[in-house]
Structure 1
Amino acid sequence: MRLFRCDNCGNAIYFENRSCLNCGMRLGFVSDEICLHPVRPDSTQSDLWRRIDQQQFIYRFCGNAVWDVCNWLVRAEGGEKYCVACRYNGLVPNPKTSDGLRRWRAISDAQRHLFYSFLRLDLPRQSRLEDPQGGLRFDLKEDEILPDGSCNPVMIGHDEGHIVIRAAEADDPTREQQRAMMNEPYRTLLGHFRHETGHFIWNRMVRDAGKIDGFRAIFGDESVDYGQALERHYREGPPRGWGSNYISFYATSHPWEDFAECFAHVLHIIDSLETAHMFGIALAPVSPDLATSHANFDPYSVLDFERIAEVWVPLSVALNSIHHSMGERDLYPFILTPAIKQKMGYVHGLLTRQV
């Protein structure tokens, strides 16, 4: 994730900021430039805004800004009500309740982080309006409370571009309970978004692009029955020694899930390395096996995934050690074996148009 500079005062501003903490200017994210800018009201109309660094374009804030859910901008002349992240939403939590609004804000934060990566990599993002059968749509659904007071939890999932996110997982206790029940080392809203959109990317950049053979050579035959594969996975568990070939327990269930997990981790790693790069983080460890080049490059522009992995592995070890010093779990509790790096390299090559 990039760091930004306020065009008004030069102070550092961050992706999540709504206003500059130094000069107080309101901030809006311009998706065309993938950049955060201070804005001031336009003199002609109360809901119009102009960037202070140029007067060429007039903007409106995303329609969800009224709930303080989003601070992205849309061009006033374009007629769009919602920004390039929010316009894919169908169902959303009820913002007129405190729980609904709190959950929606947390989910929206993760969703905008996802679309930052989509914009940086220029990934396919057709909407349901553009493609009614396979375009993206997010339903951020609340659990159903049954007449007897019990809860029918929403199932997170993907179906031909239609992605369902369980709103209750914006609550830390609910998400942690689910993580423990599933015996997962990691579970976040952003992880859900990245994983589920990985299925959409597979549809667009593998299946629809006619690249099945190359995919199968790395991940295996995805034509095996998905339902039966999941049933077997939950009944029998993963194969012995699965950690050598799969990034996660769930990735062992089916080649589709293996791809989606690798896609999510490629975005995790690239975005984290960009943050490290922006902060100038470098390692000079005593142990030579942890030596690494500085994270002094933009990982979104690197075409060689091996170079990315060479920096990420020792950095993640350092971050995990810092977490241990605070009594916390590993920040990145995963091991990149040669087989896993090969899979991630394929996904990275696909996203960078090398495959």
Structure 2
Amino acid sequence: MKLFACPHCSQVVFFENVVCERCNHALGYEPTSNTMLALEKSDDGAWRSVGERSDGASWLYCSNYAFGVCNWLTPASGGEQMCLCCRHNLVVPDTSDAANVELWRKMEVAKRRLFYTLIKLGLPLQTRDEHPEGLGFQFLSDSPATGDHVMTGHDDGLITIALVEADDAEREKRRTSMGEPYRTLLGHFRHEVGHWYWDRLVRDGGALDQCRQTFGDDSQDYGEALKTHYANGPKPGWQNEFVSHYAASHAWEDFAETWAHYLHITDTLDTAGAWGFRVNPKVDREDVLTAKVNFDAYGADTPMAQIADSWLALSSALNSLNRSMGAPDPYPFVLAEPVIQKLGFVHDLVHGRVGDATAH
């Protein structure tokens, strides 16, 4: 993710900021131009952009701004109350409960970062009103009264995220009990949306045969595959072919896991580039862990090999820094060559080099 600056005073600001700490102007993110705007309230109740390169346009905050969960903007003249991100919400938590609102806020922080990347890559983002299988989100809680237990997952464009996943302690408990090296809200969003893009770009985008050559036969019974996975454990030697043991359970999960990792990698490299990162260990005699992140990780013309090589160096550095702080590795994975080839397929898919480019 890029670094932002307040257009009024040039102070560095961050993606979730709603006010500039230097000049005290209100801030809002405008997704179509990928800019943070400095704002002043107008007499008509809208907000007017001010500062460098401002055209004085009028904006409204997303209606979810009132709950403290969103800082995205929508044009005052457009008639939309929801921003490009929040209009995909179908069910949100009960806002009369302050604890629920805080969990929802964490959900929206992760979801907005997901959408930042999807918009940056120019990927389709139909809502449920625009397409029968459009992308929609529901954030649900378990029901002690009925015994209903919410499962995070995807069903024909409807993505369900269990609200309890926003509770850090509960999510860590689940991560440990399921033997997962990594479990985050952003990871959930990136994985589940991968299933939706399999439908849009692979199934409906003319890329099914090519995808099967890379990820295997998706027509195998999905339910039985998951039963086998949970009953027998991960496939022996999965590390040589898959990015995670869960990816080995079925071709659909392999695609979704690889998709999520592609988003992890490109967004983190983009952030590293914005911060001017250069990894150059003095003991690295063969430049295996050396990289200067001075390229466009989201760019269609950036080779997958360059992305993978730079990621090896950067993720090794990030893991080492975390270990110095006594914290877990932020990227506890090893990318075998077959996994890099799968990431290359996703790279080509999102940039229209696989399947029907009109699906984008």
Q: Same fold (TM over 0.5)?
A: yes
Tell me the distance in 2 between the aligned counterparts of 1:96 and 1:7: 35
Report the TM-score when normalising by structure 2: 0.94
Alpha-carbon deviation of 1:305?
1.2
Matched, 1:273 2:269: yes
Which residue does 2:293 correspond to in 1?
Answer: 295
The one-letter amino acid paired with 1:315 is L
The change in CA–CA distance for 1:186 and 1:291 in structure 2 (over 3 A counts) is closer
Preserved CA contact (<8 Å) 2:114 2:186: yes
- How many Å apart are 1:293 and its aligned residue? 2.6
- 3-state DSSP of counterpart to 2:139: strand
Deviation of 1:8 (Å):
0.5
2:213 and 2:109 map into 1 onto residues whose CA distance is 36
Structure-1-length-normalised TM-score: 0.96
The offset of 1:34, in angstroms, is 1.4
Tell me the distance in 2 between the aligned counterparts of 1:239 and 1:193. Answer: 25
Q: Residues of 2 paired with 1:55 and 1:327: CA distance?
A: 48
**Do the aligned partners of 1:175 and 1:187 also contact (CA within 8 Å) in 2?**
yes
CA-to-aligned-CA distance 1:280-316 (integer Å, 9 cap, x gap): 1111102235442311122111531111111010111
Instruction: Please give the secondary structure, in 2, of the residue aligned with 1:90.
Output: strand
Q: How does 1:164-243 map to 2 (within 5 A)?
A: 164-243=160-239
**CA distance, structure 1, for counterparts of residue 148 and residue 130 of structure 2:** 33
CA distance in 2 between partners of 1:225 and 1:249 (Å): 18
Aligned length: 349
1:56 Cα offset (Å): 5.1
Counterpart position of 1:65: 65
Distance in 2 between residues matched to 1:152 and 1:281, nearest whole Å: 47
* Equivalent position amino acid for 2:139 in 1: L
Letter in 2 for 1:121: L
Provide the residue aligned with 1:95 in structure 2: 95
2:308 and 2:20 mapped to 1: Cα distance?
A: 34
Residue type of the partner of 1:37? L
Structure 1 residue aligned with 2:357: none
C-alpha contact (below 8 Å) 1:303/1:352 kept by paired residues: no
- 1:104 corresponds in structure 2 to 104
Partner of 1:138: 137
Unaligned runs of 5+ in 2: 355-360
Taking the TM superposition and a 5 Å limit, the aligned residue runs for 1:1-355 are 1-43=1-43, 45-46=44-45, 48-52=46-50, 53-55=53-55, 57-132=57-132, 134-146=133-145, 152-285=148-281, 286-289=283-286, 290-301=288-299, 302-355=301-354
1:135-176 CA-to-partner distances (Å, cap 9, x unmatched) read 1110011111136xxx64310000010000011111101100
Give 3-state SS (helix, strand or coil) of 1:235's partner. helix
Residues 61 and 74 in structure 2, CA contact (< 8 A), matched pair in contact too: yes
Distance in 2, Cα, partners of 1:182 & 1:347: 27
CA deviation after TM superposition for structure 1 residue 246, in Å = 0.4
Q: Distance in 1 between matches of 2:170 and 2:148?
A: 13
Deviation at 1:242, TM superposition (A): 0.5
> For residue 144 of structure 1, what is the amino acid of its counterpart?
S
Deviations 1:162-212 (A, max 9, x none): 000011111101100110111000000000000000000010000001211
CA deviation after TM superposition for structure 1 residue 117, in Å: 0.4
**Root-mean-square deviation over aligned CA pairs:** 1.2
* 3-state SS in 1 of match to 2:24: coil
Amino acid of the residue matched to residue 112 of structure 2?
A: R
Alpha-carbon distance between aligned partners in 2 of 1:323 and 1:247, rounded to the nearest angstrom: 21
Percent of residue pairs identical? 44
Q: Is the 8 A contact 1:270 1:299 kept in 2?
A: yes
Instruction: Using CA pairs under 8 Å that are at least 6 residues apart, name the structure with larger relative contact order, 1 or 2.
Output: 2
Gaps of 5+ in 1: none
Indicate the SS of the match to 1:139. strand
Residue 31 of structure 1 aligns with an amino acid whose one-letter code is P
Runs (4+) off by over 4 Å: none
CA contact under 8 A between 2:296 and 2:302: conserved in structure 1? no
